[in-house]
Amino acid sequence: MAKISVLGSGAWGTALAMLLSDNGHEVLLWSPFAEHTEELRRTRKSSALGGLELPAGMQFTSDMKKAGERQDAIVLATASVYTRGVARELRPYVKTGQLLVCVAKGIEEKSLLFQTDEVQEEIPDAVVACLSGPSHAEEVARRLPTTCVAGAADSAVAEQVQELFMNRVFRVYTSTDVKGIELGGAVKNVIALAAGIADGLGYGDNTKAALITRGIAETARLGVKIGAHWETFAGLTGIGDLIVTCASMHSRNRRAGILIGRGKPVEEAMREVGQVVEGVYSAKAALALAEREQVEMPIVDVVNRVLFSELPAAEAVRMLMERDPIAEWNYL
């Protein structure tokens, strides 16, 4: 049994805390909001997960010192836009060699760093890993069969994360391709916005399939350019995560895209979804990274234009369809 803190009491952090508690670990769930912590203690139910009852042994805190000290592992599960700030607040309480597991998905807009890079920059003495894959919080919390990938530069660290999380309904694979895992997790949210926009416009399955397959193609192009492995994008954290995010109404990115496709302004769509829409925050960073690496990402490009340059959604689709004819793969 391990002592584990989960930082972030939203749907994903709470679902993972439930999973870890099921595995027999001593789990402490941290929220930055004292009133939310008190609500969790009092009701032992998660409003973020539709009122699901929380395991009896799970504890709660808003004290970062308590969450950070003397833990075997710490899971960073806040939205990606808050990762650096939370890591900076955590830093004074982290011991050398502390295992930190990043489970948010995104690229920092200013630095173009992935989540593990941000955390490592803020806490250089920690051992940083990630956990990613096609895993809606609502289904993990209901103990529905799910598969993910634990990623770390050192395979032994990835195996340590695998051992903490894996059980009969949550299967975990390992990988040392951290860049590929994190790029796939970040860009899939942008592609899911595009898929939602297409749904909002009333397009069908053909359009969705085109966005998924061409979306993974442009993500893989960028991934290989930054040193990731092509095979990663054919796996759970590539095409797997992209499929589930583009197809499910659990996906806040797809839901926001549907509203945008129906003509709602971006800010209004985000308010209506009621949760952080990660793809909106990752879109600019993904495009900037592609431009830095001189990689063409047409879907990411038009999503940025729809979000930030008032390009009509239907016009964005026309632009994609009327691009110059090319071969599907360069080797052809």
Q: Domain limits at 292? A: 179-321
Residues 150, 235 contacting (CB under 8 angstroms): no
Cα-Cα-Cα-Cα dihedral of 118, 246, 212, 306, to 10°? -80
Q: Which residues of the chain carry a pLDDT beneath 70? A: 331-332
CATH, residue 15: 3.40.50.720
- Mark whether 154 and 214 lie in a shared domain: no
Is 24 contained in some domain?
yes
Look at residue 331 in the predicted model and tell me its pLDDT. 52
Look at residue 248 in the predicted model and tell me its pLDDT. 87
pLDDT single digits (tens) 92-105: 999 999 999 999 99
Q: Which residues belong to the annotated binding site for sn-glycerol 3-phosphate?
A: 105, 133, 135, 188, 241, 251-253
- Mark whether 14 and 158 lie in a shared domain: yes
Residues 269, 256 contacting (CB under 8 angstroms): yes
Look at residue 324 in the predicted model and tell me its pLDDT. 87
Which sequence positions are flagged as catalytic?
188
- Mark whether 140 and 54 lie in a shared domain: yes
Name the phi and psi angles at 75, rounded to 5. -105, 125
Q: Which of 176, 192, 224 is the last residue of a domain?
A: 176
> Which candidate, 209, 223, 128, 126, places its Cα nearest to that of 179?
223
Look at residue 332 in the predicted model and tell me its pLDDT. 38
The CA distance from 261 to 233, in Å, is 27
Is 96 contained in some domain?
yes
Q: Which residues belong to the annotated binding site for NADPH?
A: 12, 105, 137, 252, 276, 278
Is 326 contained in some domain?
no
CATH, residue 245: 1.10.1040.10
The CA distance from 252 to 277, in Å, is 6
**H or E segment at 75?**
strand 73-76
Q: Which of 147, 176, 205 is the last residue of a domain?
A: 176
Residue-wise DSSP of 256-303 = HHHHHHTT--HHHHHHHH-S--HHHHHHHHHHHHHHHHT---HHHHHH
Question: Residue 5 corresponds to which amino acid?
Answer: S
The CA distance from 174 to 186, in Å, is 19
Q: Which residues belong to the annotated binding site?
A: 8-13, 105, 133, 135, 137, 188, 241, 251-253, 276, 278
In this prediction the pTM is: 0.94
- Mark whether 237 and 305 lie in a shared domain: yes
Residues 123, 94 contacting (CB under 8 angstroms): yes
Q: Which residues belong to the annotated binding site for NAD(+)?
A: 8-13, 137, 252
pLDDT single digits (tens) 219-260: 999 999 999 999 999 999 999 999 999 998 888 999 999 999
